[in-house]
Structures are given as C-alpha cells and as structure tokens.
Structure 1
Amino acid sequence: MNCIIINRNGDEIAVFLCNENRERLELGQHEITFLTGVIKHDMPQILGKNIASLNLANIGLLASIIFRKCVLRKCTTAEQQKLLKGTYALTTDYDSFCPKMAEITYKGRALCFDVSTISQTEIALLISEIYLMNQYNVSEEDIKDKVVVDAGAHIGSFAIQCAALGAKKVYAFEPVPEIYETLKKNIELNNFQEIIQPLNKAVGDANSTAEVSYNYAGDSSASLSLKPDARFRQKIDVIRLDDFLKDEKIDFIKMDIEGYEEKALIGAGNLIKKYKPTMSISAYHKPTDMKRLPEQIKSLRSDYKIELYTYWESDFFCK
C-alpha cells in the first residue's frame, strides 16, 4: 500500500476501488478529493501550490469558482474537479473504471462496501465524511460496548464504522428499499450481522406511513420532505424511537435524515430524557436547523453541552 492517508483523528486509512474485472485502484488523498469535487477543505494547499508554480490558468479558475460560489451561489462539481485535476496533475480515467466495490482499511481491518448503486462522487464523499473527516465525531470511548442508533444509514458507512469501533449493537434505519438492500449486503460482507440490525423504516414523531422521494437507487439525499422534481416516490413506514426501542438503553444517536431531524428528536424524547445519549445531529438541511435543533434538544435535557462541528458538513455534537 503506497497511498496511506492519515485521517483527522490520526488513524491510518487505505482506500481501494474494485471493478467487475477485479482490478484494484488505490486512492490517495488527492484522488479522493478530486472525486468528491469539494475544494473547501483544500483551499490553502490549492492556492499555495498554484501560486508556487505560477499556474495562472488555475489561479483564474479558482477565483472564478470562489466568485460563482459566494456571489452567484452557482458552482458545479465539474468546475472544482477541473481545478483539482490541474493542481494535482491527476491522469487516471476514473469514468472508465466503473467501481463495484470499495475496500477501506480502518482500525486494523479491511471494510468492504458494495458501491455499485452509487456514483464515484458519492463513494468519495462517504469515504471522506465518515472515514477521513469523521463528520459525526465518534470515538472508541463513545461507541465501544455501546448501543447506537443510526438514523439515515444509507449503505452502512457509519453503522459499519461503529461496529469496527466495537459497538455492542447498532440499529441502522434506512427507509429507501433499494438502498436498504445494499445496506444489508454490506453488513453481511463485513460479518457484522450480530451487531448491526438493518431496519427498512424511517424515524419521526409518529408511527405512520409517509412518502419518500428520490432520484436513483443509491440517492443519499432521499427525503420524506416533498421533492417535486423527484423521479421516484415510495410509501414507507415511519416509527417513533420511543416506541420501537422503549426497552433499550440507547448510548449514541446519529441523525442525518434530510431535514426530518426535528421530528425524529420529538419521537425519541423519552429515550433522550431517560438516558441522555451522546448525539450527533445534522444541522444543514433546513435554514431553521441552527436555531430550532438546539432548542429542541435543550427542551428535552437542559444539561446537554451542544457544540457545532463543521469537519465536513455542519453537525451538532451533544454530550
């Protein structure tokens, strides 16, 4: 392994993509950043590298991206990838590789993921936010021998991270049927069936049914909020955590559920009051999240210390 990456917490990570021909492609930090198309975390390095090499074309492109992003609120992934490709002199043709599996070495073990239903950009985003930047700020102290709720499990990247950290039990909620099938497959690939319980349900403030909207089988932005331009809609079950887990002591709750966090917190109110679990709650889906989510959490337990972390997206870490 030549491309060892040191993540935010000092862990050594190695990442491989595998295609249907069983060819393996190792990714370094620059390659992963390129695939995400996200430059904000690399801005000082990008600027310094292009100034040092007097690359006026890239400096001009960077200025254009900043202007379009900050003033016009318009900036495409393709523009940022063009800048990253030029800055780091990347030559691999990722479009023709077509990965089907991803392998991540983490905490001394190889974790495997079926990624055939998601784009290369989403693969890189999941690797970056969970295994490199540790977006939800989990630690072995918070997870080992603990019971975890993963609301918005997607294909299992966070649930599997928790299992690798020694979780006693992980309840992984994923409402979209196609994504749920991949979640189950990834749990089996990593032999975590005894630890992770996949649940094809959403979490909310009432036991009911709702309609989930999404655009493709692995859509990480699938939402219970109305999306008029969504290609697909399906009826799904919604449960209250208070009812579903009423006899379970919960130690950690992660919620990243596309704007449904406030309702899910209401539905978990009794569990939160009783056990005061450590929580990581996404705070970037709605304009009101920054104000309303801390208020909701404090109304349940006033003794929570709430910190806003922006390691990748914005999340409230509550302990």
Structure 2
Amino acid sequence: MPATVTDSPSAILVVGPSWVGDMVMAQTLFSELRHQYPDCAIDVLAPTWCRPLLSRMPEVREALALPFDHGDLRLGERHALGKSLRGHYQQSYVLPNSLKSALVPFSAKVPVRTGWRGEMRYGLLNDVRKLDKERYPLMVQRFVALALPEGAPVPGLDEITAPHLQVSDDSRNGAMAAHNLNLDRPVLGLCPGAEFGPAKRWPEHHYAAVAQHWIERGGQVWIFGSGKDQPVADMIVGALENGADEHAVVLAGNTSLEQAVDLLSATMAVVSNDSGLMHIAAALKRP
C-alpha cells in the first residue's frame, strides 16, 4: 500500500527540477498544493540559481539550497542534508526522475514521499507513481498529477493554474537602474538563444528584421540571454540599419537571472526561441 498524507500537512518539501523551464512549470504543482492546503508551508529544495524564480512564486515559503552541481552524486552529503531536515515535513514530492534526487527526503524521514517511478526508486519513495506518457502528455499535467490521488482524472489545461511569477516595482526599477535602462520607448524583448543549439534557433536575421520594424515604429529592443548568446545578440544589433542600433541593448551575458526576470517584466512583448527565458516570459504574462 502506498503511504498516504495526513489531511492537513503543516509543511511540504518539494525537490525541484534543475532546469529553468521545468522550474517555472513546477509552479503548477505549488499552486495545486496551495489550493489543497491553504495553510501549509511549501519549501522547495533546488539549485541555488533557482532562488530568483522561487522568490517570485507566492506559494513558496523558502527556497532551500541544493549545494550540488547537476549530475553530482555525493551520497554522503545528500544524506547529511536530509538528516538536517528531519522532523520538519510531513509530505514530500520529488519532481526529477533520478535516484539521487529522492535521497534527501528519504534521509529526512519524510513520512510520505511521492514521485514518478523514474530510476526504480522503490523504498526511497513510498508513494511511487507509474508514468503513462500518453495519459499525461504535458509536463504541467505530470507535475499536478502528483498532488492528486493516483488514478484521478487527468486535469485539463483549464483546470491547471498557469505559472505566474510576481515582480515588485522596486525590484524592476532596481534592475533597470543597474543597467541604465528606461521606459521612454516601449520595450520589445528578444531571447534569441535556444536550449538545444542553432538547430532550434530562429535565424538571427529574422530577429533583426523584427527589431528593425519595432524600433522604426518608436520602440526599443532589449536582447536577453546567457553569455553564450552574446555573439548572436551582437549579430542582431549589427544588422540594424538607419541608426536603429541606438535603441537596441544587448543584455545577454550581462544580467543575473534575477535581473533578467525583473527586466522581462518591463517589456510589452517577447519574441523567443524554446528556452528557459521563454517560460519566464510566459509566466510574466508577456505576449
């Protein structure tokens, strides 16, 4: 028999994903848990870089740092981290499918440990679900399903609370001041990078054409991304004509994730490839 959670846990531990887009989509689970348990504290164990995202999710009480690089095993340290959390949680949800991701809740002796079967994690998890990818085709359905009784009807998208990051005016204004930006002209955000390289990337000359069109009609363009996206961002700006480059700012490689979230919230619209920034923009309700 799988373990069953108490009717009203006082604290839940979620082991979060290790990718930006997946962490944004995980907010669907946090929202479902908040709906079921309005007074329950929800803490998320995740890589340190996730904190800027989690701090902008109102459902999350605390982001607990997972001090390991993606792929690190470090069993002893994971066990020690779990021991330090004993007695704090009544329920846990493990979102990654790896065996190592289930070690901390197990070592923490969380009474109910829920997750998809993944890497044969029987014992480490005591509420093991078998994933039917046809039944749950979308990642958000897979996350939310873990909060529901096994075999419950598959939630439709209209039943799932979409990710919704919250940014304060102070943090947005602080990020703009740090990069000497203003809103004198309406902002179009461009995110020309892609998670899986050039094959998944819209060609830079198309981005340049969009930027040229926007700027000629009175706007400005902010180009987001990591350091590896800076060359393509520079190519986009370099292709602009008739002084349009004066209204294009390359932020790729020059912002923290926290600043990128805050600055994306200041845009009127975003054009993006399939990337973590795309998920962030969607969670900020940018068209």
In the superposition, the TM-score normalised over structure 2's length comes to 0.33
Higher strand share: 1
Structure number with higher relative contact order (C-alpha < 8 Å, ≥ 6 residues apart): 2
Which one has the largest radius of gyration? 2
